[in-house]
Structure 1
Amino acid sequence: MIIRNYLFREIGKPMAAMLAICIALFAGYSAADFLSDAVNGLLSTNTIMELVALKVLIGLEVLVPVSLYLSIVLAFGTLYGNSEFTALHALRVTPPMIMRTVLTLGACVALTVAVLSLVVRPWAYHRLHELSQEAELSLDVDAMQAGTFYIVRHGARVIYLAERRGPGSPARDVFVQVRHADYTQIIHAQLAYPLMDAGAGRHADVDVRLKNAHVYNIARKSGMHDQVLNVREVTEDPSSHDTEPLGYSSVAASTWRIARSHAPADVAEIQWRLSTAMTTLLLAMLAVPLGRGKPRQNRYGKLGTAILIFFVYYLLYTSARTWVQHGMVGTVPGIWWAPAMLAVVTLVVARDFIPHPRTWLPARIRATPGTGAS
C-alpha cells in the first residue's frame, strides 16, 4: 500500500502540472481564434470565455491521456535515475507489481476519459454550436470601426463603415447588405448612428438609424422586379436574422442516438468515443517500459521517443476516424485497427512487465494444492 501510494504520488505530481500546462496552451490557442471577432465587436468577453471553456472540455479527452502517458515516462525515468527502482526490486517489488499499480491508476483515468468522451464532449459540442449561433445573431454596433467588413451568418448580413471617429460617434457612408430568401437588399446611407438605450448594457442589441439612404432590393427569383427606394430616415436592427434551427452534427449528438445509427459519420463518432478509454489504458501500459532507464541516467532520455510514438499513433488514430467518416473504411474494422495496433506494440514492448494470468488470483487460491486423484 505504501509503495503503491508513493508511485501514485510520483506520477500524479507531473501529471497535474503537465495537464495544467496543456490546458493553458490549448485555451490560449482557442482564444486566439476569437480575438479578432472580439476586437471587431462581434463577440463579447463573456461569450469568448464560455467558448474557450467549451473548447477545453472538448479537448480534455485527448489532453488527459497524453498527460498521464508522458507523466509516467517522466516519473519512472526519475525513479530509475535515482536508483529508487533498484531499491524497490531489492524489496521484492517485481515489474508485474509495478504494472498492476499503473493499471489501477490507468483504469481510474480511463473511466474519467470515458465519461468525458461519452457524455461531456457531446454536450460541450452542442452548447458550442448553440453559442456560436447566438453570437452570430448579436452585434455590438457601438464597437464597430471604420474600414472593416462585418460579415454575419456566413454572408447573410454584411456591414461596412467608411468613416467613424470612435464609439458613440455617428458613421458616414455606411453600406449594409442583407440577404433574404426572395431578394437581396443593399442600403447606402450618408449617416448612421446607434439608438442607445440608457437602461441597457453595453453589449445589448440596439437599433441603428440611417439617414439619407438609398435602398436597392435586387430580386433573387424569376418573376420578381427590382426596386430602388430613396428614404430620408430608416431604422435597422443589425442583429435581426432569419434564424434557422441547428443542423444535425455527429459530434454534438448524444451517444445513445449515434449508437443506433448506421451512417458513416455516426459510426466513426461512436467508435471514437468507445475507444478513447481503451487508448488511455494502453498508453499508460506502454509508458511503463518507455520510462525504464539506468541509474544516474537523464530522466528525459526517452521522453522524445515517447512523444514520437504518441504523435505517430494519434495521426493513425485520427486518420482512421476520417476514413470511416467518409466511407473509405467500413464499420469493420472501422477505427479499431489503430487501437489494436497500439495494443500489439504495448504487449511486445511491455512483455516483461505484464503479470502472468496465474498471479491475478488471490494468494490463498494459488497456494491450494490440486484435489485430483493420483
Structure 2
Amino acid sequence: MATTLVVVSLLTLIILGARLIKYFGLAAQGNLDVSILFSIIGFRLPEFLILILPLGFFIALMLVFGRLYVDHEMAVLNGSGVSKHGLARLLIPTSIAFLIAHMLLLTWISPWGLRQFYQLYSTQSVRAGFDLVRPQEFIQAGSYTIYAGSLSQDRKNLKDIFIYQRADRDSRPDTMILAKEATRIETSDSGASVVDLIQGRRYEIYPTTAKYTKTEFQSYRIRIQSDKEARYSSNEVEGLTMSTLWAGRENPVVLSELGWRIFMPFSMFVALILAVGLSEVTPRQGRYIRLFPAILIFASMVVCLIAIKTRMSKGEVGVWAYPAVLLFYAIFGAIFSRKQKFAPKIKKRIQRARS
C-alpha cells in the first residue's frame, strides 16, 4: 500500500503539472481567472485519479513482487510452502480496499467534482469578460470580444470601450459597440454581467453583405450572458449521478458511462492477476526488466475499456464488452502465471508428437 501511494502521488504530480501548464496558458491569454486555478485543479483531481489509481496499484504490485524475486525472498517462501498464488490470495483484502476506493471515485466523488468544475467554469466565463480585462488588450469571452483603453483599480469603470458580439445564427447580424466609458452594475445574477455604456455608437453588421445599421446613444445598458451554461448542463454524462444515469440507461451515451462506472473498478483484481504472472524474474535480470512491457499490457486493457466506452456511446457495441475485456486479460494473466506448470507438459507433448 505504501508503494501504491508513492506511485499514485508521483503520477498525480506529473498529470497535475501538465494540466497546470495548460490552465496557466489560458490565464495568460485572458481566458481564465488566475484566482480559480487551484479550485479547478481540486475539482478535477478525482477525475485524474480514476485512471491513475489502477495503474499505480499495478505498478506497485510489479515492484513489490519483483523485489521478492530479486532478493531471493520468493525462493525462500516457495521452499517454505508459500507460493506466489498464496501471496496473491493474501493481497485480495488490499485489492478489495482499492476497489471500494475506486468505486467511490467513479460513482460519487468524481461526478461531484465535475459538476462543481462545470458550474465554476461557466460562471467564470461570464465574469472573465470584464474581470480579466487588461488595458489595450483584446479579451474574448464566449461570443464577445472586449477591449478597454484603460480601467480603474476596482475594475468597475472602463474607458474607450470596444465590444464585438458574434451572432448565434447566420440570419442575425453581428453587433459592434463603441463607447467612451463603461460602468459595471452589481447584480445578484451570477450568470451574467450587466454594464452601463456612456456616449457611444452601436452597429448591427451583416458580414456577408454591405448592409449595416448605426445607432448613437447617451446611455446604453448591456447584459452579457454566458453561452457555456447550456453546454455544461445535464448533457455532461460524466458529471451525472448514478440515479440519473440509471433512469436514462436507454440512451447509448448514458449506458456507456454507467457501464464504465460499474466495471472499471474490477480492473484492480485484473491488476493483481496480471502482476502475479508478469512480475516473475530471475535475480540476474533485475525487477525492472519486465516493468515496462507489463505497463504496456495493463495500459492496453485501459485503452480497450476507453475504446469500448466510445463505441458504446455510438451504439456499436453492448455493455457486455466491458466484462469481456476484463475477463480476457484476467484469463491471460492466469495462464501466464501458470507457465512453469504448463511449459514442461507442452514440451513433452511436442517431443512425443515428433517421435
So what's the TM-score if we normalise by structure 2?
Answer: 0.79
After superposition, the Cα gap between the structure-2 partners of 1:241 and 1:116, relative to the gap in structure 1 and judged at 3 Å, is closer
Aligned to 2:242: 255
How many angstroms does 1:90 deviate by?
A: 3.3
Most deviating of 61-70 and 138-147: 138-147
Aligned partner (choices 60, 65, 84) of residue 76 of structure 1:
65
Alignment of 1:109-258 (within 5 A): 109-139=98-128, 141=130, 143-145=132-134, 148-153=137-142, 155=143, 157-161=144-148, 163=149, 171-172=159-160, 174-177=162-165, 179=167, 184=173, 186-189=175-178, 191-192=180-181, 208=195, 210-217=197-204, 227-236=213-222, 238=224, 244=230, 246-258=233-245
2: CA distance between counterparts of 1:134 and 1:81?
55
Take 2:64 and 2:244, find their aligned partners in 1: how far apart are those partners? 41
Q: Could you say what secondary structure the match of 1:299 adopts?
A: coil
CA change 1:256–1:235 in 2 (3 A) is closer
The alpha-carbon distance between structure 1 residues 143 and 134, as it changes in their structure 2 partners (threshold 3 A), is closer
Q: Distance in 2 between matches of 1:145 and 1:229?
A: 27
Alignment size in residue pairs:
329
Query: Separation in 1 of the partners of 2:239 and 2:271?
Result: 27
Pair 1:229–1:272, CA change in 2 (3 A): same
Aligned partner (choices 52, 76, 81) of residue 41 of structure 2: 52
Which of residues 274, 284, 293 in structure 1 aligns to 2:272? Answer: 284
Distance 1:106 1:142 in 2: 48
- 1:35 counterpart residue number: 24
In structure 2, C-alpha distance between the alignment counterparts of 1:242 and 1:39, rounded to whole Å = 20
CA RMSD, 1 decimal = 3.4
Residue 78 of structure 1: SS of its match in structure 2?
helix
Counterpart pick for 1:104 among 93, 100, 115: 93
Give the distance between the partners of 1:110 and 1:178, measured in 2 at CA. 48
Write out aligned runs for 1:222-371 (5 A).
227-236=213-222, 238=224, 244=230, 246-260=233-247, 261-331=249-319, 333-351=320-338
Amino acid at match of 1:309: I
Q: CA deviation at 1:117?
A: 1.2
Matched position secondary structure for 1:294: coil
Deviation of 1:229 (Å):
0.7
The 8 Å contact of residues 40 and 143 in structure 1, kept in 2 or not, is answered as no
CA contact (8 A) 1:77 1:293 kept: yes
Contact between 1:110 and 1:277, CA under 8 Å: does it hold in 2? yes
* Structure 1 residues 236 and 40: CA distance shift in structure 2, 3 A: farther
Show structure 2 runs of 5+ residues with no match.
187-191, 342-355
Aligned counterparts of 2:76 and 2:19: Cα–Cα separation in 1: 45
Deviations 1:159-187 (A, max 9, x none): 245x5599769554623326579955623
Structure 1 residues 18 and 37: CA distance shift in structure 2, 3 A: same
**Is the Cα contact below 8 Å between 2:181 and 2:199 reproduced in 1?**
no
* Equivalent position of 1:63 in the other structure: 52
SS in 2 for 1:301: coil
Q: How much has 1:336 moved relative to structure 2?
A: 2.9
**Could you say which structure has the higher helix fraction?**
2
One-letter amino acid of the counterpart of residue 49, structure 1: F
Cα pair 1:81 1:295 within 8 Å, conserved: yes
- After superposition, give the CA deviation of every residue in 1:128-154 in whole Å (9 maximum; x if it has no partner): 22222212222262532366543333x
Q: In 2 relative to 1, CA 96–195 (structure 1 residues): closer, same or farther, beyond 3 Å?
A: closer
Percentage identity across paired residues of the two chains: 16
Answer yes or no: is the 8 Å Cα contact 1:114–1:277 preserved in 2: yes
Q: Which amino acid aligns with 1:321?
A: K
Using the TM superposition, give the Cα deviation of residue 53 of structure 1 relative to its aligned residue in structure 2, in angstroms. 1.4
Cα contact 1:212–1:231 (8 A) shared by 2 = yes
Higher relative contact order (CA 8 A, sep 6+): 1
Following superposition, the deviation at residue 303 of structure 1 comes to 0.8
